[in-house]
Amino acid sequence: MVKKFPNLCKPIKIGNVYYRNRMFGAPMGGTDITSDCTIGRASTAFYELRAKGGAATVTVSELVVHPETEGSHMFHLDLKTVGALSSFTYTADAIRRHGAIPSVELSHSGQYAGTYLTDKDKKGSLNQWGPSDGVRPDGLPVKALTKDLIKDIVKSYGTAAEIAKRAGFEMVMVHGGHGWLINQFLSPYFNKRTDEYGGSLENRVRFAQEVLDSIREAVGPGFPIEFRFSGSELFEGGYDLTEGVEIAKLLESRIDLLHVSAGTYQRGFRITHPSMFLPHGNNVYLAAEIKKHVNVPVATVGALNDPEMMEEIIASGKADIVEMARALLADPELPKKVMANKEEDIIHCLRCFTCMAERAMTSTRRCTVNPLIGRELDGTEIHPVANPKKVLIVGGGPGGLQAALTAAKRGHQVTLCEKADQLGGILVSEQALSFKQEMYQLGCTLGKLVKDAGVDIRLNTTVDKDYVEAFNADAVILSVGSEPIVPPLKGLDGEQVIIVNDYYRKKDKVEDSVVVLGGGLAGCEAAIHLAMEGKKVQLVEMRAELAPDANIRHRPILLEEIKKQNITVHNECKGVEVTKEGVICEDTQGNKTLIEGKTVICALGQRPRRDVVDALIDAAPYVATIGDCVKASTITTAVYQGHHAALDI
């Protein structure tokens, strides 16, 4: 078989271990952590899913090596806690039995202990230790580590690695980036010490060197040690790429793989985990430059999910390995599909941050496009039914498409009707926004998968009760979505007004000055896109805050982008009339003012299409309603409900 992506699919030997391809699973925190900080069964299944999907490695994250100075509720591993060793052993086995190499990330958050706690107030009761005395941005005091504590922490890295090896892990990753403890020692911003651990670069690197020496002594020669660090901290006061190169050179003799990331978690989240507003692979240049100066293999990471891009990275010598996290949540089978030349079947990550927001809010994992994530124990295999049914799906949005795909995989005879001339539902409108192409692509990819699964797709087909009764379905899944809210506002029916859902059809009619009426997620993203195109944009929102419907990870990045694009924001401002000159608005004191704009974008939210639901609710023996027609919500909800409605048939 001739591989379309030969470099990406080529095996590699690191230390004494062979890896089946160049697609590595970057660290991802588990979906459940027991009260004793062991790996719960759901987390084991979570990691196993990526191993089954073809990744060369799966890295368990994060193992806190020294709970005495970092008591965060993350994984711990010792021989005293009942269940600790066995949970790691079962997890390593679950990964390895599918051909992936199990790895574990050894970590210490230093002064940022408690970052992942759901109860943020608990951070104050944890130990906040760093290289130097100081105060965190949230006001918590930081204590400088004593030399005795440093020695103890260094030893704990080796101890944790030794036990992990005993449990069956065949590789360890040392987290030396993103603002965690090792990075705090490396960084002139955090490290103000005047002893042998501070000052010169050679001194600031000393702690990392001692940690790596401790691990090597514990695991022996040939056992792969991966060191993850930020090629540049990318903020004023931190180290830059030039110094990043020197750090790499000072550490390479102690490691087998250099994993080059970027930025710091606390001061550059959107760069460390590139947002939808940044290009894919925007951090690759760091690995490419560092690779010129070291002899060990180099890995790169950051919003990589396109096989062609990843192939070019390796083929051109920018890196030896690509690492993915979010991409393997969206589609755990991405590596398997690449190896089989089925790249068109890949479900791409949307970079919407649902996965990371859920971890912060509920201590779980979710993925917008993958209904299995965080629920792997419920079963990841779709089994054929004994008695196939005749199934009608009404609506070809993300929920309907997922329902059709799952139902078809179960062996049902599935027909999907969509009233528009293409599949995708509300995703179709995303094609006009430059940074949301993957949301549009999701509809296209699901459409292909549904067609390949044998679903009878009927476009330009409106379904009413007569249609359903004539169809004689055993089961109907209603995924008819929502419709835009258009209040009876004077002038809102004018020619200069464009409903945000219709922007992709009418974008050529948008003038150089725009008023976006509605500051929810859709309005904010439309405003950003228009500002990127060079329009003068004013954003009107009747609430005190913008985008309350955005998740807690995406929202700060969204608001930052609004500032970056110089969008004028009018909060607590209600539109009362649309004129040819713009929108007349009223503030909380009743004062009226004209906000000028030649074009008005109406983005006032969505409402469920309950009239369609009510007309069809009794049309078959089994009728399920999913997605926005139940409650205007998210793609995440629609996909999850669609998958399970199909499983229930």
- Kindly report, residue by residue over 391-421, the tens digit of the pLDDT: 999 999 999 999 999 999 999 999 999 999 9
Look at residue 127 in the predicted model and tell me its pLDDT: 83
Instruction: Give the pLDDT band (50/70/90) at residue 238.
Output: very high
Instruction: Give the pLDDT band (50/70/90) at residue 90.
Output: very high
Type of residue numbered 364: T
**pLDDT tens-digit map of 102-129:** 999 999 999 998 877 778 788 778 889 9
Measured over the CA atoms of residue 234, residue 235, residue 236 and residue 238, the dihedral's sign is negative
Look at residue 427 in the predicted model and tell me its pLDDT: 95
Q: Are residues 324 and 446 in the same domain?
A: no
Between β-strands 482-484 and 606-608, what pairing exists: parallel, antiparallel or unpaired?
antiparallel
Res. 25: pLDDT tops 90: yes
DSSP code for 123:
G
Q: Are residues 204 and 288 in the same domain?
A: yes
The residue range of the domain holding 585 is 497-604
Q: Residue 401: inside a domain, yes or no? A: yes
CATH number of the domain encompassing residue 505 = 3.50.50.60
Q: Are residues 422 and 540 in the same domain?
A: no
| CB atoms inside a 10 Å sphere around CB 201 | 14
Q: CA distances (Å), 169 to each of 28, 87, 227, 258, 581, in order? A: 16, 12, 16, 19, 66
DSSP code for 383:
P
Q: For residue 503, which phi and psi values (nearest 5 degrees)?
A: -55, -40
Q: Are residues 549 and 473 in the same domain?
A: no
How many residues does the structure list for the chain? 649
Q: Residue 566: inside a domain, yes or no? A: yes
Q: Are residues 208 and 308 in the same domain?
A: yes
Q: Are residues 625 and 597 in the same domain?
A: no
Q: CA distances (Å), 339 to each of 41, 84, 359, 366, in order? A: 29, 35, 31, 26
Residue whose C-alpha is closest to residue 577's, from 540, 550, 632: 540
CA angle 568, 434, 357 (to 5 degrees): 75
Q: Are residues 600 and 614 in the same domain?
A: no
Q: Residue 27: inside a domain, yes or no? A: yes
Q: Residue 65: inside a domain, yes or no? A: yes
**pLDDT tens-digit map of 487-532:** 999 999 999 999 999 999 999 999 999 999 999 999 999 999 999 9
Residue ending a domain, among 320, 353, 377, is: 377
DSSP code for 108:
-
- Among 85-94, 271-280, 372-381, the range with the most confident prediction by mean pLDDT is 85-94
Q: Are residues 358 and 433 in the same domain?
A: no
Res. 153: pLDDT tops 80: yes
Region label for 350, one of left (φ > 0), alpha (ψ between -120 and 50) or beta (otherwise): alpha
Res. 361: pLDDT tops 90: no
Look at residue 120 in the predicted model and tell me its pLDDT: 75
**pLDDT tens-digit map of 171-189:** 999 999 999 999 999 999 9
Q: Are residues 344 and 367 in the same domain?
A: yes
Instruction: Give the pLDDT band (50/70/90) at residue 589.
Output: very high
CA distance 620 to 607: 25
Q: Residue 492: inside a domain, yes or no? A: no
Q: Residue 335: inside a domain, yes or no? A: yes
CA distance 276 to 550: 14
CA distance 183 to 535: 41
CA distance 444 to 131: 50
Q: Are residues 271 and 201 in the same domain?
A: yes
Whether the bond into 62 is cis, omega within 30 of 0: yes
Q: Residue 1: inside a domain, yes or no? A: no
Mean pLDDT of all residues in 57-65: 96
Mean pLDDT of all residues in 594-622: 95
Mean pLDDT of all residues in 410-436: 96
Look at residue 521 in the predicted model and tell me its pLDDT: 96
Question: What's the chain's average pLDDT?
Answer: 95
Residue ending a domain, among 332, 359, 377, is: 377
CA distance 233 to 286: 11
Q: Are residues 236 and 288 in the same domain?
A: yes
Residue ending a domain, among 342, 377, 412, is: 377
Look at residue 386 in the predicted model and tell me its pLDDT: 95
Q: What is the percent of the chain where pLDDT is above 70? A: 100
Q: Residue 491: inside a domain, yes or no? A: no
**pLDDT tens-digit map of 197-214:** 999 999 999 999 999 999
**pLDDT tens-digit map of 443-474:** 999 999 999 999 999 999 999 999 999 999 99
Q: CA distances (Å), 547 to each of 450, 463, 483, 521, in order? A: 33, 34, 19, 5
CATH number of the domain encompassing residue 638 = 3.40.50.720
Look at residue 119 in the predicted model and tell me its pLDDT: 80
Type of residue numbered 622: Y
Q: CA distances (Å), 494 to each of 490, 505, 539, 540, 580, in order? A: 9, 16, 19, 18, 8
Look at residue 359 in the predicted model and tell me its pLDDT: 82
Alpha helices, DSSP H only, in 142-205? 147-167, 181-186, 201-204
Instruction: Give the pLDDT band (50/70/90) at residue 218.
Output: very high
CA distance 391 to 308: 37
- Count H helices and E strands in the chain, helices first: 22, 28
DSSP states of 545-603: SS-TTS-TTHHHHHHHHHHHTT-EEE-SEEEEEEETTEEEEEETTS-EEEEE-SEEEE-
- The total domain count for the chain is 3
Q: Are residues 469 and 541 in the same domain?
A: no
E-state strands within 310-419: 321-324, 390-394, 413-417
Look at residue 116 in the predicted model and tell me its pLDDT: 72
Mean pLDDT of all residues in 29-56: 94
Res. 83: pLDDT tops 90: yes
**pLDDT tens-digit map of 308-343:** 999 999 999 999 999 999 999 999 999 999 999 999
Q: Which single residue is written with the structure tokens 């590595």?
A: 24
CA distance 70 to 127: 6
